[in-house]
Amino acid sequence: MPSFDIVSKVDAQALDNAVNVTTKEITNRFDFKGTHVVINLDKKEFIINLETEDDMKMRQLIDVLINRAHKQGISPEAFDQSKASYPSGKLTKQSVSVRNGLKQEDAKKIVKIIKDSGLKVQVAIMDDIIRVTGKKIDDLQTVIHASKTWELGIPLQYENMRG
Protein backbone atom coordinates (compact mmCIF):
# COMPACT_ATOMS: atom_id res chain seq x y z
CA MET A 1 0.00 0.00 0.00
CA PRO A 2 1.53 3.37 -1.00
CA SER A 3 2.46 5.73 1.84
CA PHE A 4 4.56 8.74 2.77
CA ASP A 5 5.46 10.70 5.91
CA ILE A 6 4.78 14.35 6.69
CA VAL A 7 7.51 15.81 8.89
CA SER A 8 8.77 19.21 9.97
CA LYS A 9 12.54 18.96 10.29
CA VAL A 10 15.42 21.39 10.12
CA ASP A 11 18.81 20.09 9.02
CA ALA A 12 21.22 20.88 11.86
CA GLN A 13 24.17 21.31 9.50
CA ALA A 14 22.25 23.73 7.25
CA LEU A 15 21.22 25.74 10.33
CA ASP A 16 24.84 25.83 11.54
CA ASN A 17 25.97 26.99 8.07
CA ALA A 18 23.30 29.72 8.04
CA VAL A 19 24.45 31.00 11.45
CA ASN A 20 28.10 30.99 10.33
CA VAL A 21 27.32 32.84 7.07
CA THR A 22 25.21 35.37 9.01
CA THR A 23 28.05 35.96 11.48
CA LYS A 24 30.51 36.47 8.62
CA GLU A 25 28.18 38.88 6.77
CA ILE A 26 27.39 40.94 9.89
CA THR A 27 31.08 41.34 10.81
CA ASN A 28 31.76 42.65 7.27
CA ARG A 29 28.79 45.04 7.06
CA PHE A 30 29.58 48.73 7.37
CA ASP A 31 26.53 49.54 9.53
CA PHE A 32 27.64 46.93 12.09
CA LYS A 33 31.31 48.02 12.27
CA GLY A 34 32.43 48.50 15.87
CA THR A 35 29.11 47.34 17.36
CA HIS A 36 28.54 44.51 19.79
CA VAL A 37 26.94 41.50 18.05
CA VAL A 38 26.72 37.93 19.38
CA ILE A 39 25.07 35.10 17.44
CA ASN A 40 25.10 31.83 19.36
CA LEU A 41 23.48 28.58 18.21
CA ASP A 42 22.47 25.97 20.80
CA LYS A 43 22.57 22.83 18.62
CA LYS A 44 20.84 20.59 21.17
CA GLU A 45 17.86 22.86 21.85
CA PHE A 46 17.70 24.44 18.36
CA ILE A 47 17.75 27.97 19.82
CA ILE A 48 19.66 30.91 18.39
CA ASN A 49 20.63 33.50 21.01
CA LEU A 50 21.15 36.97 19.56
CA GLU A 51 22.67 39.99 21.25
CA THR A 52 23.20 43.48 19.82
CA GLU A 53 23.15 47.15 20.81
CA ASP A 54 19.59 48.21 19.91
CA ASP A 55 16.24 47.07 18.57
CA MET A 56 16.85 48.28 15.02
CA LYS A 57 20.08 46.31 14.71
CA MET A 58 18.27 43.27 16.19
CA ARG A 59 15.65 43.43 13.43
CA GLN A 60 18.39 43.74 10.78
CA LEU A 61 20.26 40.82 12.32
CA ILE A 62 17.13 38.60 12.27
CA ASP A 63 16.42 39.59 8.64
CA VAL A 64 19.94 38.60 7.58
CA LEU A 65 19.67 35.33 9.55
CA ILE A 66 16.35 34.35 7.96
CA ASN A 67 17.57 35.28 4.45
CA ARG A 68 20.76 33.24 4.84
CA ALA A 69 18.83 30.30 6.31
CA HIS A 70 16.39 30.43 3.39
CA LYS A 71 19.33 30.17 0.97
CA GLN A 72 20.43 27.06 2.93
CA GLY A 73 17.01 25.50 2.32
CA ILE A 74 15.44 26.32 5.70
CA SER A 75 11.94 27.76 5.50
CA PRO A 76 11.42 31.16 7.17
CA GLU A 77 8.43 29.57 8.95
CA ALA A 78 10.88 27.42 10.93
CA PHE A 79 11.93 30.41 13.03
CA ASP A 80 9.74 31.14 16.06
CA GLN A 81 10.13 34.85 16.82
CA SER A 82 7.24 34.97 19.30
CA LYS A 83 9.60 35.96 22.13
CA ALA A 84 10.22 39.68 21.76
CA SER A 85 13.66 41.17 22.17
CA TYR A 86 14.38 42.49 25.64
CA PRO A 87 16.87 45.04 26.98
CA SER A 88 19.66 43.70 29.18
CA GLY A 89 21.80 46.52 30.47
CA LYS A 90 23.05 48.44 27.41
CA LEU A 91 22.33 45.51 25.09
CA THR A 92 19.25 44.03 23.44
CA LYS A 93 18.88 40.24 23.52
CA GLN A 94 16.53 37.83 21.81
CA SER A 95 16.17 34.06 21.66
CA VAL A 96 14.87 32.68 18.36
CA SER A 97 13.82 29.06 18.62
CA VAL A 98 13.89 26.89 15.51
CA ARG A 99 10.89 24.60 15.11
CA ASN A 100 12.13 21.06 14.70
CA GLY A 101 9.56 18.27 14.69
CA LEU A 102 5.77 18.41 14.65
CA LYS A 103 4.09 19.36 17.91
CA GLN A 104 1.09 17.26 18.91
CA GLU A 105 -1.45 20.06 18.36
CA ASP A 106 -0.02 20.80 14.87
CA ALA A 107 -0.14 17.10 13.99
CA LYS A 108 -3.80 16.93 15.08
CA LYS A 109 -4.64 19.97 12.92
CA ILE A 110 -3.01 18.35 9.88
CA VAL A 111 -4.83 15.04 10.46
CA LYS A 112 -8.16 16.89 10.76
CA ILE A 113 -7.54 18.83 7.53
CA ILE A 114 -6.66 15.61 5.65
CA LYS A 115 -9.71 13.76 7.00
CA ASP A 116 -11.99 16.72 6.18
CA SER A 117 -10.67 16.76 2.59
CA GLY A 118 -12.65 13.60 1.78
CA LEU A 119 -9.71 11.81 0.14
CA LYS A 120 -9.53 8.05 0.54
CA VAL A 121 -6.38 7.97 2.67
CA GLN A 122 -5.58 6.81 6.20
CA VAL A 123 -3.67 9.12 8.52
CA ALA A 124 -1.74 8.14 11.65
CA ILE A 125 0.33 10.22 14.07
CA MET A 126 3.59 8.52 15.07
CA ASP A 127 5.49 10.72 17.59
CA ASP A 128 6.47 13.77 15.48
CA ILE A 129 5.70 12.16 12.11
CA ILE A 130 2.38 11.82 10.28
CA ARG A 131 2.06 8.70 8.13
CA VAL A 132 -0.38 8.98 5.21
CA THR A 133 -1.42 5.72 3.51
CA GLY A 134 -3.73 5.20 0.56
CA LYS A 135 -4.63 2.67 -2.14
CA LYS A 136 -3.72 5.02 -5.00
CA ILE A 137 -0.50 6.98 -5.25
CA ASP A 138 -2.52 9.75 -6.93
CA ASP A 139 -4.45 10.30 -3.67
CA LEU A 140 -1.16 10.70 -1.81
CA GLN A 141 0.09 13.21 -4.36
CA THR A 142 -3.19 15.13 -4.00
CA VAL A 143 -2.60 15.34 -0.22
CA ILE A 144 0.94 16.68 -0.80
CA HIS A 145 -0.31 19.22 -3.34
CA ALA A 146 -3.16 20.35 -1.06
CA SER A 147 -0.88 20.63 1.99
CA LYS A 148 1.18 23.30 0.23
CA THR A 149 -1.84 25.64 0.42
CA TRP A 150 -2.51 25.18 4.15
CA GLU A 151 -1.69 28.18 6.31
CA LEU A 152 -0.25 26.41 9.35
CA GLY A 153 2.80 28.59 9.99
CA ILE A 154 5.12 25.57 10.08
CA PRO A 155 7.35 24.18 7.33
CA LEU A 156 6.39 20.69 6.11
CA GLN A 157 8.52 18.14 4.30
CA TYR A 158 7.49 14.85 2.72
CA GLU A 159 9.67 11.77 2.90
CA ASN A 160 9.65 7.97 2.60
CA MET A 161 7.31 7.94 -0.40
CA ARG A 162 6.64 4.28 -1.10
CA GLY A 163 4.63 3.13 -4.06
23 has a pLDDT exceeding 90? yes
pLDDT for the residue 83 = 87
Hey, where are the domains in the chain? Answer: 3-8+102-162, 12-98
Q: What is the DSSP string of 94-114?
A: EEEEE--S--HHHHHHHHHHH
For the domain made up of 12-98, the CATH class stated in words is alpha beta
127 has a pLDDT exceeding 90? no
pLDDT for the residue 111 = 94
3-state class of 145 per DSSP? helix
For the domain made up of 3-8+102-162, the CATH class stated in words is alpha beta
CA distances from 72 to 27, 90, 103, 131 (A): 19, 33, 23, 26
Give Cα 110 to chain centroid, integer Å.
16
Whether 3-8+102-162 shares its CATH topology with 12-98 is answered: yes
pLDDT for the residue 84 = 86
Q: What is the pLDDT of residues 68-126, one digit of tens each?
A: 999 999 999 999 988 888 888 899 999 999 998 899 999 999 999 999 988 899 999 99
pLDDT for the residue 88 = 87
Q: What is the pLDDT of residues 24-70, one digit of tens each?
A: 999 999 999 989 999 999 999 999 999 999 999 999 999 999 999 99
